Structure 1
């Protein structure tokens, strides 16, 4: 329950520093008046990329961040990195507050939108978790769905190397190839949302995680 005179606090855990500002603005829209607490830890993503999947110490540190969030007065922790989304799910039984992953609402929307669902990613470590979260959403909703994964080779490296234009070009090229095969395209990483406005007019629907993922904060009690 909310307490009169006590400011609500929501926490977010990021692995891409550049996303913190834009997601904070979305959090303020979703939960007006709430204090937004941001944790930024690039090493969680770096270690996951190196291992191929979140290694055990990433799970332990994620649980620690949930503890920090709780101790700081937060009522919820939103994990904004899809690569560690499955670790966020595994952390839930050990956390004293709800732990959300940013891409679950997007997955639910995708299976409501089409029968053939394309998953577009720039990281192999994200492609698998996002594909699986869409497949689980499809299983919950009943009718058969086909999930088609597509990895944009070289795009993530271009973005890390300071060449966002090449990143966007590679993502758009991958999108064009994938869109020809599916009813809806899911962008696996929040950092890919920038390309939505550049998608060709009349193409299949494109779903990204930031807005729908952060909107979950509106429904959490503090």
Structure 2
């Protein structure tokens, strides 16, 4: 059993669908804790460290063999909780970051939420250092996108992400910082390779 720690209910259906394609025999145990993202945005990411650790420990107690954290904002906190829980913990965007480093040196990060910019950029730099490669990371927030997501306007949200993708012209690869942005990668808005985290993250977590 793989536990998935979400901060949005919207991810449950996404990963259930991907499970059928990536690892059909895997049992998924979804934990939705929307308050963690709300508090991280309001009080700062470190403020929710203990709560994230508690959620990972609860997943282990429920019988999970590993945890996949699908929230980029709290991903680093989740990975840090692995030792306390005694099971592997993977942040969903780590495999994506490694793939981005493999794809080229000019990496553009697009985010719908400002709190994911620093964690995602830092993660890419970590993977670049691990691979012994020098990269240039450019990061930007898509204005108004997260407001659409919070309002439940998924089409409007993805329209803004798609427009931002089309505006990038000087990158070797584009990284979508939120798992919820993944459908925009399939819209063909740019000839530049676009990486999204859900499929890559679930495949890597299933291997754990």
2:159 counterpart SS class: helix
1:135 Cα deviation after fit: 1.1
Aligned-pair Cα RMSD in Å: 1.5
1:207 Cα deviation after fit: 0.2
The reply to whether residue 72 of structure 1 matches residue 62 of structure 2 is yes
Aligned to 1:138: 128
The equivalent position to 1:160 in structure 2, one of 150, 161, 169, is 150
1:107 Cα deviation after fit: 0.2
- Equivalents in 1 of 2:175, 2:143: separation in Å? 17
Aligned 1:81-120 pairs, distance under 5 A: 81-120=71-110
Aligned to 1:6: none
The reply to whether residue 32 of structure 1 matches residue 24 of structure 2 is yes
Q: Which runs of 5+ in 1 are unaligned?
A: 1-8
Aligned to 1:216: 204
Aligned to 1:4: none
The equivalent position to 1:23 in structure 2, one of 15, 25, 30, is 15
Structure (1 or 2) with the larger CA radius of gyration:
1
Aligned to 2:138: 148
Q: Which runs of 5+ in 2 are unaligned?
A: none
Q: Contact 1:66–1:96 at 8 Å: present in 2 too?
A: no
TM-score, scaled relative to structure 1: 0.88
The reply to whether residue 185 of structure 1 matches residue 177 of structure 2 is no
1:35 Cα deviation after fit: 2.3
1:49 Cα deviation after fit: 1.6
- Equivalents in 1 of 2:116, 2:31: separation in Å? 20
The reply to whether residue 42 of structure 1 matches residue 31 of structure 2 is no
TM-score, scaled relative to structure 2: 0.93
- Equivalents in 2 of 1:90, 1:212: separation in Å? 20
Task: Write out per-residue CA displacement over residues 39-66 of structure 1, whole angstroms, 9 at most, x where no aligned residue.
Answer: 1010011111223x4133x221221122
- Equivalents in 2 of 1:114, 1:96: separation in Å? 35
